[in-house]
Amino acid sequence: MKTPIYMDYHATTPVDPRVVEEMLPYFTEMFGNAASRNHAFGWGAEEAVEQGREHVAGLIGAEAKEIIFTSGATESDNLALTGIAEFYKDKGNHIITCVTEHKAILDTAHMLESKGHRLTYLPVDNQGCIDLNQLEDAIGDDTILVSLMAANNEIGTIHPLKEIGRITREKGVLFHCDATQGVGHMDLDVNEMNIDLASYTAHKIYGPKGVGALYVRRRKPRVRLSPIIFGGGHERGMRSGTLNVTGIVGFGKAAQLMIEEGTSEREQLQSLAGRLREGITRELDHVHLNGHPTQRHPGNVNLSFLFVEGESLLMGINDIAVSSGSACTSASLEPSYVLRAMGLGDDLAHSSIRFGVGRFNTEEEVDFVIRRVVETVARLREMSPLYEMANEGIDLDKVQWNVH
């Protein structure tokens, strides 16, 4: 076993060697432009793109013609929200999303708000779940889009997509899903769930960075978009630009592997994540699981370690690649907006660590991570008077602190 150990699979994944092998010829031998219709190099590239499109569509139960290739999920999110807002502006200007969505959705929503659109940000409970009744009540005559993610990138909580899709279809409102973190790791069928647009990317499913997709429904209803990138009218006029053939080949292969192996991989991730969580909580007290206990991404373990600073813990386990729930800014240490939206106090929010278990992790690595985390938390708590007071039964919320 080699260190450092990678356990940040929600941030990105290594490219599967089988994906690399599939991509290699398209760098040097089959390097044509998929839009070159006059020679074999272009025809070969176009054929490769269409095969990739089939696999990428198949991953979510869509048709190949419904897939628009982009530079990644962030662009797909931007295109979905701004494209719908612009095209359907005569029908309405109200969009509904959620406070725990990815920044690619929230920042686009804030931009649209500044341009006069009305936005509703649904709250979540302490497990990161929305209230479906609140969603239903929020939909009005001027609502054109509901945008809710599949699986949360920080806490792993899965939204009830089928129920959301039922509500949006009954109300005649379009449903966009940021499926980036969930695709391949949960049941996702755009027709069964009445999803009208879906964003996802290759680099979260062991494909290359820099290539993503936006699913846009073609029938019942036919969804229309205003483009945000203009040029040669590629991708049915929705996204101009020379296609990243090599990336699309890799995306297609990664999707194909997920279709073939995703179910067994899900079980493997659940087993490893369960081993990690149980191993840590068995040895340490005052550990809090963030997110829904069961309706969650199979490889996600987001834990808060009370009486320990997240940044100190990260430094103490610097031979393990994980993510802190708090983002360090130049002026202050701000806890994660997702954890804050769930109502977590600063003590829990500041001490959270996201472990993202993935395809190439082993039981041996998980056991090493358990030992390192337990040792480091125990050492840091030895220096914490608060931990000592809590173990003596003192209610810290009732302590009157002297401030000098």
Q: Give the separation between CA 48 and CA 326, rounded to whole angstroms.
A: 42
Q: In the predicted model, is pLDDT for residue 238 greater than 90?
A: no
Q: In the predicted model, is pLDDT for residue 386 greater than 60?
A: yes
Ordered by where they begin, the domains of the chain are 17-258 (3.40.640.10), 263-391 (3.90.1150.10)
Share of the chain above pLDDT 70, in %: 95
Share of the chain above pLDDT 90, in %: 84
The 8-class DSSP code of residue 240 comes to -
Q: In the predicted model, is pLDDT for residue 385 greater than 80?
A: no
Q: In the predicted model, is pLDDT for residue 403 greater than 80?
A: no
Q: Supply the pLDDT for residue 329.
A: 38
Q: In the predicted model, is pLDDT for residue 80 greater than 90?
A: yes
Q: Which of 267, 204, 265 has its CA nearest to residue 56?
A: 204
Torsion of CA 66, 19, 302, 307, to 10 degrees: -140
Average confidence (pLDDT) over 45-60: 97
Average confidence (pLDDT) over 246-253: 98
Average confidence (pLDDT) over 332-349: 85
User: How far, in whole angstroms, is CA 189 from its chain's centroid?
Assistant: 17
Q: In the predicted model, is pLDDT for residue 331 greater than 70?
A: no
Q: In the predicted model, is pLDDT for residue 209 greater than 50?
A: yes
Average confidence (pLDDT) over 188-196: 98
Average confidence (pLDDT) over 254-277: 97
Q: In the predicted model, is pLDDT for residue 22 greater than 70?
A: yes
Q: If pLDDT is split at 50, 70 and 90, which confidence band does 373 have? A: very high
> What pTM was computed for the model?
0.94
> Would you say 152 and 291 are in contact if contact means Cβ atoms under 8 Å apart?
yes
Q: If pLDDT is split at 50, 70 and 90, which confidence band does 328 have? A: very low
Range with the lowest mean pLDDT among 215-219, 239-243, 259-263? 239-243
Q: Supply the pLDDT for residue 392.
A: 67
Average confidence (pLDDT) over 163-183: 98
Q: Supply the pLDDT for residue 390.
A: 74
Range with the lowest mean pLDDT among 99-108, 340-349, 360-369? 340-349
Q: In the predicted model, is pLDDT for residue 396 greater than 90?
A: no
User: How far, in whole angstroms, is CA 244 from its chain's centroid?
Assistant: 22
Q: In the predicted model, is pLDDT for residue 258 greater than 90?
A: yes
Q: In the predicted model, is pLDDT for residue 330 greater than 60?
A: no
Catalytic residue among 98, 129, 177, 328: 328
User: Dihedral sign, CA of 332, 333, 339, 340?
Assistant: negative
Average confidence (pLDDT) over 122-139: 98
Average pLDDT, the chain: 93
Q: Which of 4, 1, 2 has its CA nearest to residue 319?
A: 4
Residue 177: active-site member: no
The 8-class DSSP code of residue 293 comes to S
Structure tokens belonging to residue 71? 């530079």
